[in-house]
Amino acid sequence: MKLDAKTAIVTGGASGIGKATTLALARAGARVFLGDVDDTGGAAVQKEAQGAGLKVEFVKLDLTQEVSIDQFAADVLKRAGGRIDVLVNAAGWGRVQPFVENPPEFWDQVLAINLKGPIRLTQKLLPPMFEARAGKIINISSDAGRVGSLGETVYAAAKGGVIAFTKSLAREAARFGVNVNCVCPGPTDTPLYNRVPEKIREAFVRAIPFRRVAQPQEIADAILFFASSRSDYVTGQILSVSGGLTLAG
């Protein structure tokens, strides 16, 4: 799957699924703008990629701040000559905690990073895609948004919103030649997942038919499909990549 001469944005690209996706798209030939709040991690991924001859540029992005989102979009569009071919909304954040113990400021942060921030960034980048009558948007939700997840109630609500956002935007964007799809990872070996209590991680492994969690590259492979020309007639779809964990979902 080739993305030669394409320009892509990946949010949350400093680690985990976002990093794997950044490198996968760059290896496929794309010029990738990596957006992340983590300066050190973002710079390290850029250095690693450029050392391998890949076109990756880190641009600071804080999805909880509207000003940062607007500045990121303007900066990337300027550098890219006004056109973005692929947008991957991969940034995500949450923590396991009973809903009744959640402070309201936690809700605000979860909703900002997982739902409101991606919605705002997408709106800023849609006009040039519509004008070009081409583009691929891939939103990263979670199987928590499809079937729920114990201790992640507001996170699941935000990710469920990403699924609904994907389906609705796909209907609006199709007449402009823009594809909008969604990947729902199950438990994946990322820094965020590894902060989950060990007992919960062990329970996940027992529940997954393949008896292991995903590697970030396995999620990136699904994203690469949706970013490539092989998905040109696919839109509004929700793909679970969970090793069969949610077969009944």
**Is 247 among the domain residues?**
no
Q: How far apart, in whole angstroms, are the C-alpha atoms of residue 151 and residue 7?
A: 37
Residue 249 has pLDDT above 60, yes or no: no
Whole-number pLDDT of residue 195: 80
How far is residue 44 from each of residues 50, 62, 72, measured CA to CA in Å? 10, 18, 19
Rounded Cα–Cα distance for residues 24 and 10 (Å):
11
Residue 134 lies in a domain: yes
3-state secondary structure of 88: strand
Q: What is the rounded (10 degree) CA torsion for 120, 181, 153, 103?
A: -20
| 131 domain-assigned | yes
| 37 inside domain | yes
pLDDT at 112 over 50: yes
CA distances for 216 relative to 18, 102, 116, 168, 220, angstroms: 8, 28, 24, 27, 6
Domain count, the chain: 1
Structure tokens at 76: 């990337």
Active site residues: 155
Across all residues in the chain, what is the average pLDDT?
95
pLDDT of 191 reads 84
pLDDT of res. 75:
98
pLDDT at 179: 98
Region 157-176 average pLDDT: 98
Give the pTM: 0.95
Domain limits for position 133: 7-238
What is the per-residue pLDDT across 68-91, written as a single tens digit (0 to 9) for each? 999 999 999 999 999 999 999 999
CATH number at residue 138: 3.40.50.720
CB atoms within 10 A of CB 204: 18
Residue 48 inside a domain? The answer is yes
Residues 45, 56: contact at Cβ < 8 Å? Answer: yes
Is 249 within the bounds of a domain? no
Residue that wins the pLDDT comparison between 164 and 202: 164
Query: What's the pLDDT at 150?
Result: 84
